[in-house]
Structure formats: structure tokens, C-alpha cells
Amino acid sequence: MEALCRLGPTSVSNLADDLDRDPSTVTHHLQRLNDDGIVHRERDGRTVINYVSPRVRALLSDSNVDGADQFVCEAD
């Protein structure tokens, strides 16, 4: 989630490179997050673009207002 917030809308390969993980592992986790409505995935040709859902992004941004030690997921 931190990497996806930091990178913004991105492909699985970019996210996998950033995390130094296998793309199949990243895809597996993104699919589960998508199933739960935390992440949205949209096909763009042969690429799937992944991004934090607006609702979750708002919740994460709001949770940081009080100075909590959590990562910030601000709007792009």
C-alpha cells in the first residue's frame, strides 16, 4: 500500500520493480485488495493500471491529520 500510494497509478511491473518482488506475487496481492475494494485495477491495452481506491485514499489521508505514525496516501 505504501508503494502504491507513493507511486500513484502504476502497472504491476513498475510496482514489482519498486518492491523487488515477482510480478506474479504482486498481482496475487493486488487481486485480493481489488476484491476487497481497497485497490482498483483498470486495463489499459496490455497493461493493468493499479491505484488505491478514492475511498481508501481519503481514509488514509484523514487518519494522518492527527499525527499518527502511518504513511500518507494523498491525492495524485
Interval 8-66: pLDDT, tens: 999 999 999 999 999 999 999 999 999 999 999 999 899 999 999 999 988 887 765 55
- The predicted structure's pLDDT at residue 25: 97
Contact 41, 30 (CB under 8 A): yes
Contact 56, 38 (CB under 8 A): yes
- Three cell numbers written together for 18: 519498486
